[in-house]
């Protein structure tokens, strides 16, 4: 039992009265029927796990039970003020207030459903715009309430989790521990916070549902009201007057803003000058907001004039304003204003935060400077208010644009309206693309580079590449038609044309964006030095490629062999490397510097004919003339043998005396197609030579080795034991027997 009070006489008197009241309450309770349940009155120092059932199941007796509980808290026992009495008193006060709120909310019923708005027979343009504003306001209010419900749900979950932790600590305390009182009051307070929030949510959720239904009804009314618009001659005159006033306001604001822009900030030296400069700069932002609002109002008034003229049968034929043109102007104003509004909002928020920070630093130091910062803050408040009004005008302008679009679509027809909208969208897209293309991306030597300029460079390079490809293709066609011409020379000429045309294309492309090469001389020289050190290998390969092309020591179609063991046919000579294809159809990229700095065997540099030597051997004693006949016959059968040249007929040479054979070589000259196929050539000739030798019964010797083994067995000695077995002649037996004896 808890009591808050002092040690004076008045407190004891009040305590005694409280005890009498409690006894009277118990007596009155005894005279009435028993409660619904037998849950005891909660005690903060000895809370049960189901203590809240005392209030939750109270029914109509909730007020009496709360009164008993609060009286028990206040008037049952005294507590020393030095042991946290202030904290306990605050908890008790909050519990009493929460109980009052809980009872009030529990007795309150959710609001009944709101009647749906009635659709009128006719609507004027101002009525529809007011309907749009009301719908927007109610939608914003609904969104805020939905966010509030989500926030309270999260808060209830957090409090429930905290209550679980508090109960764990509470039940772990000793029953005589004085902290149980404080802990129990905290549990009661937090539970009341949670149930109050739950009751509020019970009332808020139906209210939110009713508002959402009302918003849907307003939107349906807006859709129906669009077909029930009427206008009179007075409406047309009022909108014409409004258009004139808006036009005059736009002109006035533009002139006033130009005056402030021309004044400038002057020389900024002191902090006051700097603050005034910031204030003047933001004043221009404020003018931009006001000008945008006035221009938007003028565009809306122009659409309203044209729209009212279309709605009024008396003035429809005399209409001088085209609704389609006015609608296009309004769409453009809405788009530009919305884009600028976001920029102005960021600038205003930044200015306000800066002014507040500077005011906090200078408020007690410089009164004049602090007053300027306060003026800056007031100015940003006015700008934010103007931005809020601008946002509302944007919503009304969009609604007006939707109404006008429906009217235009109804008059022009669905197909024509879609076509006009498509053309307008394409026009806007083209305008946006043009603005993006001509906008500066970066600068080179004070020359702005745009997206259009980069595209122009790419087109020029593509044209140069195409021209180079045509030139090389033409040279290849000439080489195919005229076999007498040197294809390697034409390839060299084609590569030179390729490099020259690309270089010219690069210079023409860079010149097309206005780049002055005379101002880049120093930069290019420094870049050349840097490239010389950083890209030395690439430049050496490039120069080596040029040397190969001009020197003509290596041509496309040559069969080469390098020091690294790579051999194959040259297919391409590029800037950095040369493509060599081996006889196994493997493409190898060899750096050009390897052809210039290393030893290269070019089998087809000057002449396409080459002599091959195929070695073979026969047994000693074989007729040499028969060997010669067999070798020449094999050479004749092989199709790689060059024939018809007296100085290059096949020959068989005796080249040496081997260990077990006479060594011969078949010496033949090969046709041009066989020069680049050394493996196939050698295998073919070897095959035919073996066939011819076998035909004439010529033996092909092979190494032979004889193995000679020496045996040394000892004779039996005469001093062997008489007990030896005379029938055994094996020396091993004698040895065995000797060892056994």
Separation CA 675–CA 603 (nearest Å): 7
> Is 70 exceeded by the pLDDT of residue 720?
no
Angle between helices 536-551 and 521-534 (to 10 degrees): 90
Residue 278: pLDDT band with limits 50, 70, 90: confident
CA angle in degrees (0–180, nearest 5) for 272-276-280: 170
What whole-number distance in Å separates Cα of residue 665 and Cα of residue 686?
Answer: 11
Higher pLDDT, 17 or 163: 163
Q: Quick count: other Cβ atoms within 10 Å of Cβ 712?
A: 4
> With b meaning 16 or more CB within 10 Å and e meaning fewer, what string describes 514-531?
ebeeeeeeeeeeeeeeee
Q: Which residue has the higher pLDDT, 364 or 720?
A: 364
Tell me the average pLDDT across 728-733.
45
What angle do the packed helices 125-172 and 179-225 form, to 10 degrees?
Answer: 160
- CB-based contact 630:618 (threshold 8 Å): no
Residues 169, 184: Cα–Cα separation, whole Å: 10
Per mean pLDDT, which of 308-317, 407-416, 660-669 is the most reliable? 660-669
Distances (CA, A) of 537 to 531, 563, 572, 665: 10, 20, 20, 46
More confident residue, 36 or 61: 61
510 pLDDT above the threshold of 70: yes
Angle between helices 487-512 and 536-551 (to 10 degrees): 130
Hunting for tokens 């196994």 — which residue is that? 584
pLDDT bin (cut points 50, 70, 90) of residue 381 is very high
Q: Can you tell me which residue has the tokens 């307070």? A: 189
Is residue 9 scored above 60 in pLDDT?
no
Q: What is the predicted pLDDT for the residue at 22? A: 52
In the prediction, which pLDDT does 260 show? Answer: 79
Q: What confidence score (pLDDT) does residue 248 get?
A: 93
What is the spatial distance between Cα 454 and Cα 432, in angstroms, rounded to a whole number? 18
Cα–Cα dist 605/457, whole Å: 42
Q: What is the band of 349 on the pLDDT scale with cuts at 50, 70, 90? A: very high
* pLDDT tens digits for range 218-245: 888 877 877 788 887 788 888 889 999 9
Q: Mean of the pLDDT values across residues 113-131?
A: 80
How high is the pLDDT of residue 726?
46
Strand-pairing partners, residue 323, are: none
* More confident site: 191 or 126: 191
Q: Compute the radius of gyration of the chain from its Cα atoms.
A: 54
Confidence (pLDDT) at 384? 92
- For tokens 């309270």, the residue is 152
389: how many CB neighbours lie within 10 A of its CB?
13
Residue 8: which residues within 8 A CB-CB, separation 6 or more?
Answer: none
The two most distant CA atoms of the chain are separated, in Å, by 165
pLDDT of residue 2: 37
- Residue pLDDT, tens place only, 460-469: 889 989 998 8
* Residue 699, pLDDT above cutoff 50: yes
Task: State pLDDT tens for residues 86-118.
Answer: 777 888 888 888 888 988 888 888 877 767 778
- pLDDT of res. 466: 92
- Orientation of helix 85-107 relative to helix 179-225, angle to 10°: 40
Residue 382 neighbours by CB distance under 10 Å: 13
Mean pLDDT of the chain: 78
Q: Which residues pair with 652 in a beta bridge?
A: 666
Strands 447-450 and 610-618: unpaired
147 — pLDDT class (breaks 50, 70, 90): very high
**Structure confidence at residue 739 (pLDDT):** 37
Q: In the sheet where 651-657 sits, what is the strand order?
A: 610-618, 662-670, 651-657
Average pLDDT over residues 609-637: 87
Q: Could you tell me whether strands 567-573 and 559-562 are parallel, antiparallel, or unpaired per DSSP bridges?
A: antiparallel
- CA 720 to mean position of chain CA atoms: 106
**For residues 542-551, b (16+ Cβ closer than 10 Å) or e, as one string?**
bebbeebbee
Q: What is the pLDDT of residue 25?
A: 52
Between 428 and 96, name the one with better pLDDT: 96
What does the alpha-carbon distance between residue 304 and residue 581 come to, in Å, rounded to a whole number?
79
pLDDT tens, position by position, 591-613: 877 777 778 877 777 767 778 88
CA atoms of 607 and 621, how far apart (whole Å): 40
Which residues fall within 8 angstroms of residue 530, CB to CB, at 6 or more apart? none
* Contact status, residue 117 vs residue 218, Cβ threshold 8 Å: yes
pLDDT at 125 (0 to 100): 82
**Which pLDDT score, from 0 to 100, does residue 715 have?**
53
pLDDT over 70 (residue 614)? yes
Cα–Cα dist 662/630, whole Å:
15
Q: Given 3.30.70.100, 3.10.20.740, 3.30.70.890, 3.90.1300.10, which CATH number is that of 610-695?
A: 3.30.70.100
Question: What is the C-alpha to C-alpha distance for residues 486 and 543, in angstroms, rounded to an integer?
Answer: 23
Tens of pLDDT, residue by residue over 246-267, are 999 999 999 988 887 777 655 6
521-568, pLDDT tens digit by residue?
A: 555 565 566 556 556 677 677 777 777 776 777 777 778 888 777 888
Q: Where are the domains of the chain?
A: 9-221, 233-438, 452-602, 610-695, 715-741
pTM exceeds 0.75 = no
More confidently predicted of 128 and 3: 128
Spatial distance between the Cα atoms of 497 and 546, rounded to a whole number of angstroms: 13
Confidence check: pLDDT of 291 > 90? yes
Assess contact for 286 and 382: CB atoms under 8 A.
Answer: yes
Mean pLDDT of the region 585-593:
83
Identify which of 68, 72, 71, 62 has the alpha carbon closest to the alpha carbon of residue 101: 62
User: How big is the CA angle at 603 (ends 597 and 606), to the nearest 5 degrees?
Assistant: 95
CA–CA distance, 132 with 138 (Å, rounded to integer): 10
Q: What is the pLDDT of residue 322?
A: 78
For 134-152, give one letter per residue: b (16+ CB within 10 A) or e: ebbeebeebeebeeebeee
What's the pLDDT at 628? 87
The answer for residues whose C-beta is within 8 angstroms of residue 678's C-beta and 6 or more apart is 567, 583, 612
In whole angstroms, give the CA distance from residue 11 to residue 15.
Answer: 6
Instruction: Tokens for 543, please give them.
Output: 């120069």
Q: Per-residue confidence at 499, pLDDT binned at 50, 70, 90?
A: confident
Give the β-pairing of 600-602 and 577-581: unpaired
């Amino acid at each position: 039992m808890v009591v808050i009070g002092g040690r004076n006489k008045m407190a004891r008197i009040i305590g005694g009265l409280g005890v009498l009241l409690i006894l009277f309450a118990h007596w009155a309770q005894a005279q009435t029927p028993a409660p619904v349940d037998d849950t005891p009155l909660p005690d903060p120092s000895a809370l049960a796990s189901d203590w809240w059932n005392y209030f939750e199941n109270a029914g109509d007796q909730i007020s009496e039970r709360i009164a008993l509980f609060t009286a028990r808290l206040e008037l049952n026992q005294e507590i020393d003020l030095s042991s946290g009495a202030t904290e306990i008193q605050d908890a008790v006060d909050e519990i009493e207030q929460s109980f009052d709120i809980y009872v009030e909310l529990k007795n309150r019923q959710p609001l009944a459903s709101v009647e749906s708005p009635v659709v009128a027979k006719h609507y004027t343009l101002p009525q529809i715009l007011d309907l749009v504003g009301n719908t927007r306001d109610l939608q914003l209010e609904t969104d805020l309430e939905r966010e509030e419900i989500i926030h309270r749900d999260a808060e209830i979950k957090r409090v429930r989790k905290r209550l679980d932790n508090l109960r764990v600590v509470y039940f772990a305390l000793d029953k005589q521990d004085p902290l149980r009182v404080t802990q129990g009051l905290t549990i009661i307070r937090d539970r009341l916070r949670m149930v109050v929030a739950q009751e509020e949510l019970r009332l808020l959720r139906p209210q939110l549902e009713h508002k959402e239904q009302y918003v849907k009804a307003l939107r349906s009314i807006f859709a129906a009201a669009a077909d029930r618009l009427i206008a009179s001659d007075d409406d047309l005159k009022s909108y014409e007057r409004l258009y004139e006033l808006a036009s005059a306001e736009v002109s006035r604001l533009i002139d006033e803003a130009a005056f402030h822009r021309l004044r400038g900030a002057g020389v900024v030296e002191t902090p006051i000058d700097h603050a005034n400069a910031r204030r003047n700069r933001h004043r221009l932002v404020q003018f931009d907001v006001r000008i945008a609002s006035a221009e938007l109002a003028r565009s809306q008034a122009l659409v309203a004039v044209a729209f009212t003229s279309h709605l009024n049968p008396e003035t429809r034929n005399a209409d001088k304003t085209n609704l389609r043109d006015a609608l296009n102007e309004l769409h453009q104003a809405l788009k530009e204003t919305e884009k600028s509004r976001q920029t102005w909002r960021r600038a205003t928020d930044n200015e306000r935060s800066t002014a507040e920070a500077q005011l906090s630093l200078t408020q007690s130091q410089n009164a004049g400077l602090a007053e300027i910062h306060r003026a800056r803050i007031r100015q940003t408040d006015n700008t934010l208010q103007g931005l809020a009004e601008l946002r509302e005008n944007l919503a009304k302008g969009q609604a007006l644009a939707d109404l006008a679009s429906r009217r235009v679509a109804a008059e022009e027809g669905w197909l024509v309206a879609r076509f006009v909208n498509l053309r307008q969208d394409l026009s806007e897209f083209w305008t946006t693309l043009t603005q993006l293309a001509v906008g500066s991306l970066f600068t080179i030597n004070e020359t702005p580079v745009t997206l259009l300029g980069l595209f122009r460079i790419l087109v020029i390079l593509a044209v140069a590449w195409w021209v180079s490809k045509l030139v090389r293709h033409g040279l290849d066609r000439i080489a195919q038609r005229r076999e007498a011409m040197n294809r390697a020379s034409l390839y060299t000429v084609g590569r030179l044309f390729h490099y020259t045309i690309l270089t010219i294309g690069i210079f023409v492309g860079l010149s097309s964006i206005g780049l002055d090469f005379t101002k880049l001389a120093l930069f290019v020289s420094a870049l050349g030095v840097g490239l010389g050190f950083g890209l030395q290998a690439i430049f050496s390969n490039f120069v080596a490629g040029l040397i190969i092309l001009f020197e003509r020591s290596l041509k496309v179609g040559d069969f080469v062999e390098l020091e690294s063991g790579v051999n194959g046919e040259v297919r391409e000579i590029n800037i950095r490397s040369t493509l060599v294809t081996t006889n196994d159809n493997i493409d190898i990229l060899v750096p050009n510097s390897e052809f210039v700095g290393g030893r290269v065997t070019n089998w087809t540099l000057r002449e396409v004919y080459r002599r091959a030597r195929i070695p073979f051997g026969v047994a000693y004693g074989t007729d040499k003339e028969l060997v010669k006949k067999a070798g020449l016959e094999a050479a004749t059968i092989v199709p790689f043998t060059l024939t018809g040249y007296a100085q290059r007929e096949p020959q068989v040479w005796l080249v040496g005396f081997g260990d077990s054979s006479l060594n011969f070589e078949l010496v033949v000259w090969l046709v041009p197609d066989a020069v680049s196929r050394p493996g196939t050539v050698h295998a073919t000739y070897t095959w035919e030579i073996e066939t011819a030798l076998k035909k004439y019964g010529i033996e092909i010797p092979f190494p032979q080795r004889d193995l000679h083994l020496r045996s040394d067995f000892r004779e039996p000695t005469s001093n062997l034991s008489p007990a030896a077995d005379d029938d055994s002649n094996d020396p091993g037996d004698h040895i065995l027997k000797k060892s056994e004896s």
